[in-house]
A and B are shown apart, each in its own frame.
Chain A
Amino acid sequence: NAGVTQTPKFQVLKTGQSMTLQCAQDMNHNSMYWYRQDPGMGLRLIYYSASEGTTDKGEVPNGYNVSRLNKREFSLRLESAAPSQTSVYFCAGTPQNTGELFFGEGSRLTVL
Chain B
Amino acid sequence: AQSVTQLGSHVSVSEGALVLLRCNYSSSVPPYLFWYVQYPNQGLQLLLKYTSAATLVKGINGFEAEFKKSETSFHLTKPSAHMSDAAEYFCAVSVAGELSFGAGTTVTVRA
A residues at B contact (CB < 8 Å): 4, 31, 40-45, 50, 90, 92, 97-101, 103-106
Contact status A42-B101, CB under 8 Å: yes
Name which of B11-19, B37-45, B58-66, B78-86 contacts chain A.
Answer: B37-45
Contact status A99-B97, CB under 8 Å: yes
Measured CB to CB, the closest approach of chain B to A98, in angstroms, equals 6
Bound CA span A99–B31, Å:
10
In the complex, residue of chain A having the shortest beta-carbon distance to the beta carbon of B34? A99
Contact status A41-B103, CB under 8 Å: yes
Bound CA span A45–B101, Å:
9
Bound CA span A104–B41, Å:
11
Contact status B42-A42, CB under 8 Å: no
Contact status B32-A98, CB under 8 Å: yes
What are the residues of chain A within 8 A of B96 when measuring CB–CB? 97
Contact status B9-A40, CB under 8 Å: yes
What are the residues of chain B within 8 A of A42 when measuring CB–CB? 90, 101-104
Bound CA span A41–B97, Å:
21
Q: Given known contacts A42-B103, A103-B44, A106-B43, is B97 in contact with A98 (CB within 8 Å)?
A: yes
Interface status of B56 (Cβ within 8 A of chain A) = no
Q: Given known contacts A42-B90, A43-B90, is B101 in contact with A100 (CB within 8 Å)?
A: no
Bound CA span A42–B96, Å:
20
Interface status of B26 (Cβ within 8 A of chain A) = no
18 contacts between A and B (CB under 8 A): A4-B43, A43-B44, A50-B97, A90-B43, A90-B44, A97-B97, A98-B32, A98-B49, A98-B51, A98-B94, A99-B34, A99-B92, A99-B93, A101-B36, A101-B46, A105-B42, A105-B43, A106-B43
Bound CA span A23–B39, Å:
20
